[in-house]
Structure 1
């Protein structure tokens, strides 16, 4: 890293809640936040959280036409910049990505098109992938750069990498980064089921992320958005510092799988570590989506980089599932909470020792196509 970069605020909206106190309480509980939707496991926003989104939707006539992914983004972005104390005149940059974008709205418009053989007027502008960043920028009234992208499930952490690059370039001194996803639609769930990775479990742990002995895939989709405010240097609002960032890609062996030893993760973790001693990393928040091959490949990569001293491993996916493009930032939030509370969120079925301290945490994310990102945080 050229210079210290701080996370001065972080906000999310997910099945865990939308305020920090509730989210941390839910992380410490033994419950998961899955329910059934049309016979499939999903992680949905709780009713009181949905009410917050409904209030936002009806607060502006223009917002009634927007997809949930956009509204989730607007809501969490508002909370983040409020917590950071940013003002519209700051002209901060925005980079918010999504794996799928406006899935619900797109499916609705396409169903209508199949019936009437005619597209509705707003079917294009309200379903473009850039819609999330554009509407967040509009809502926050900032005139800084606004960027959107999709790099599948590592999208939100790629947004963080991009924000760091802009800050290091000197072209901005504040950047809002994140991801938003509303994938609980019939076609999106059907796509995951077609890959044969979706959970069919019937016990009290429908997602078994980080269970390396499982014999079935257990991925479950989740809806969520998460945003982080990045600033150069350390301030009195600093929640965590970004010590290292890394990325890695690998040759495609299959459209949806990693290599056996996740070469891309080995590259991203090594780059994020830089000159740091691997032994100093206390915790890794893994990507581990709950699939047999995906979880094992990441674990193999971790063993290759950290050798005989593997940090304590954890993930939020056994509680809240996989929010695709938003998942990396949701993991960043989990890491920030553990750093600031000095409390490790353990995995009940994983045999390991809890860390004696939590000074440095690495966060991993990867998407279809082997595009991994790793971020190293410290307090």
Structure 2
């Protein structure tokens, strides 16, 4: 990378905790947001809010938002305040948000009304459903006038948003970027679609564990403020971490089956881009969906790339669920704050590591006071869309 890119703020909305500090404390303490909730389509197991989400955003604005946008605005506001961007020139800040499915709750309600109430669909349905709505609402409510758009690449969406935000900064087009992702997938129609794939667990998410039964969905938003190092230093910003390097590639093989060779390539490309050696890596936050196939393929790829160096591997979706378009951002935030605090997050709900995944060093419980300098976050999405982010402390 040319200009060094740093993170100066983070924001989180999650059923596990609203606010970066609350969220990270819950991760460190081994808490899980996974619960059960009844929908018209049946019982949903997921990391989901059990009551409607409320915030200090005025109701005249939230009335015009699907929950996915509401989550995004609250997370972006926290990140912006943490970074101290309140008086930053609005035209010099950009927004790039990853979204997997967008305003699906609003869409589900619209179809229900169409079928049962003679077509009385909310006139604001379209601007609530649009995948670009989270980015637009951040721009409108936080007064940001720079480039603003969304990235949609399944559960690598927010990693791709982070990567592209860094590239915009390196190109000199903006001086700060609010990047991340948001998702609110708990709508009966989408839940049924996921369950039809037969990859959903009916109890909980157990990444890399024996007797794992699949993934569970999650929701929320994660946002990061990115800046060039020189600019952040000049204005006296607190630097949380360095975005040391990244990569993105495509399997070009299958819509839902991951490719081990492509994953290995993505990891290796990111290490090369970051100029990081294998032994420098202390923690990997794995994609770790808890499905039978994905965990085995990911663990094999990690084992092949890292060999005897065996960094600690966490699968945090046992705490957060799989938040789709928000997953990469939430997991990047976990990497950043755990690295900053020198601890390693746990992999929850394990009944013992599956023998087929025992070739990696899975962390079952939080490891405190662990001295390491580099953390990696994996995102390997449906459609064969891969992204790897590498973070370090400021040297």
Fold match, TM over 0.5?
A: yes
Structure 1 residues 1-10 or 272-281, which shifts more? 272-281
Contact 1:264 1:371 in 2 (8 A): no
Deviation at 1:63, TM superposition (A): 2.6
Query: Does the alignment pair 1:15 with 2:15?
Result: yes
Q: Is the partner of 1:227 in helix, strand or coil? A: strand
Contact 2:16 2:31 in 1 (8 A): no
Which deviations, in whole Å up to 9, do the C-alpha atoms of 1:100-140 show, x marking residues without a partner? 10010011012212232465432222211111111110011
Which deviations, in whole Å up to 9, do the C-alpha atoms of 1:239-293 show, x marking residues without a partner? 000111101111233x22212x2x3322221111013211211110011111111
- In 2, the alpha carbon distance for the partners of 1:101 and 1:293 equals 27
Residue 246 of structure 1 corresponds to 247
Q: Is the partner of 1:65 in helix, strand or coil? A: coil
Residue 182 of structure 1 corresponds to 184
- In 1, the alpha carbon distance for the partners of 2:282 and 2:28 equals 19
- In 1, the alpha carbon distance for the partners of 2:171 and 2:222 equals 24
TM-score (norm 2): 0.88
Residue 148 of structure 1 corresponds to 150
Query: Does the alignment pair 1:51 with 2:49?
Result: no
- In 2, the alpha carbon distance for the partners of 1:85 and 1:139 equals 17
Q: Is the partner of 2:26 in helix, strand or coil? A: helix
- 1:1-379 mapped onto 2 (5 Å cutoff): 1-38=1-38, 39-45=43-49, 50-52=53-55, 55-56=56-57, 59-87=58-86, 89-91=89-91, 92-115=93-116, 116-117=118-119, 119-201=121-203, 206-211=204-209, 213-214=210-211, 216-233=212-229, 235=233, 236-253=237-254, 255-259=255-259, 261=260, 263-274=261-272, 275-347=275-347, 349-350=352-353, 352=361, 356-379=370-393
Q: Is the partner of 2:108 in helix, strand or coil? A: helix
How many matched pairs? Answer: 365
Deviation at 1:345, TM superposition (A): 1.7
Deviation at 1:51, TM superposition (A): 3.2
Please tell me the root mean square deviation across aligned C-alpha atoms, in Å: 1.9
Q: In 2 relative to 1, CA 118–346 (structure 1 residues): closer, same or farther, beyond 3 Å?
A: closer
- In 2, the alpha carbon distance for the partners of 1:284 and 1:239 equals 18
Q: In 2 relative to 1, CA 247–209 (structure 1 residues): closer, same or farther, beyond 3 Å?
A: same
Q: Is the partner of 1:198 in helix, strand or coil? A: coil
- In 1, the alpha carbon distance for the partners of 2:106 and 2:33 equals 25
Deviation at 1:197, TM superposition (A): 0.8
Q: Is the partner of 1:187 in helix, strand or coil? A: helix
Deviation at 1:46, TM superposition (A): 6.3
Contact 2:151 2:158 in 1 (8 A): no
TM-score (norm 1): 0.91
- In 2, the alpha carbon distance for the partners of 1:331 and 1:99 equals 16
Q: Is the partner of 1:306 in helix, strand or coil? A: helix
- In 2, the alpha carbon distance for the partners of 1:119 and 1:23 equals 36
Q: Is the partner of 1:148 in helix, strand or coil? A: strand
- In 1, the alpha carbon distance for the partners of 2:17 and 2:136 equals 25
- In 1, the alpha carbon distance for the partners of 2:126 and 2:32 equals 37
Which deviations, in whole Å up to 9, do the C-alpha atoms of 1:227-250 show, x marking residues without a partner? 000000153411000111101111
- In 1, the alpha carbon distance for the partners of 2:126 and 2:44 equals 29
